[in-house]
Amino acid sequence: MTTLLKFGKGNAKLSKKIATISLPSGFTCPGALECLSKANKVTGKIKDGAETVFRCFSASQEALYRNVRENRWFNFDLVKGKTVEEMADLIEASLPKQDIIRIHVGGDFFSQDYFDAWVLVSERNPDKLFYAYTKSVNLWINLFDKLGQAGVKNFKLNASRGGRHDHLIEEFMLKEALVVFTEEQAAEKGLLIDHDDSLAYTQDESFALLLHGAQPAGSEASKALQVLKKKGKGGYAKKKATA
Ligand code: SF4
């Protein structure tokens, strides 16, 4: 019997109609820079990158929950080293029944082949809606003729700022999800704030995300998060992660 990838259900902020799949945060994020954090595969001990401004929420979950960490490494170990076709076949065979699939709560498109495999899966499954946030915008750009500035009808893409390839977001005018520290910051930029991911997969305009998760002590992000929490906002990690 084929070993299949592990999908999860939406976390605290996502609709239960959404299935998710994740890979190890940081380890599979070649475009990560300001968010870069990694939870050790064995111990779960978290390590921030040299230029971390806001700590990766997903890495924090991996540090907290061993089963989350193990599931993500299980998926990564299963897909890596395969061809585009092999990865697409594996992903397709593993797809859950939900109609909406969020590609990655933790992790990112770690190679062009892996990115291409998901595009292929979306083409083979027009009745499902796939969406992703990504800092691997350099890989997206390689498929720009096909995917455009926000993805296509059933494969929606959202550039995530704070990565190594941010300049491409402006250059190609990509749809982006901008992490903001305050609601006022979002208003100044004229961006709607997304609270449940719906702006990521229902429309093609850029939007804002309020900072969440645990942040490095003493950082600007940490101070901003305290303010948001006092207002009852930010910090979606109320429930145990399932991805
Ligand atoms: S790209 Fe996403 S998953 Fe990867 S380290 Fe950054 S925030 Fe975490």
Task: List pLDDT tens digits, range 136-182.
Answer: 999 999 999 999 999 999 999 999 988 999 999 999 999 999 888 88
Q: According to the model, what pLDDT value does residue 47 have?
A: 94
Distance 123 CA to ligand 1 centre (A): 26
Task: Tell me the pLDDT tens digit for each residue of 91-142.
Answer: 999 999 999 999 999 999 999 999 999 999 999 999 999 999 999 999 999 9
Cβ of 213 less than 6 Å from ligand 1: no
pLDDT of residue 233: 58
Tokens of 143: 């498929």
- Residue 224 C-alpha from the chain's centroid: 22
Q: How far apart are CA 49 and CA 239, in angstroms?
A: 26
CA of 36 relative to ligand 1 center, distance in Å: 6
The average confidence (pLDDT) of the chain is 90
Residues written for the chain: 243
C-beta of 58 in contact with ligand 1 (< 6 A): yes
Atom of ligand 1 nearest to the CA of 134: 1
Q: Token digits for 227?
A: 């303010």
Residue 126's beta-bridge partner residues? none
Q: Is the beta carbon of 35 within 6 A of some atom in ligand 1?
A: yes
32 ligand 1 Cβ < 6 A: yes
Q: Which is more confident, 92 or 238?
A: 92
pTM, two decimals, is: 0.88
CA distance 93 to 117: 13
Q: Tell me if 62 CB under 6 Å of ligand 1.
A: no
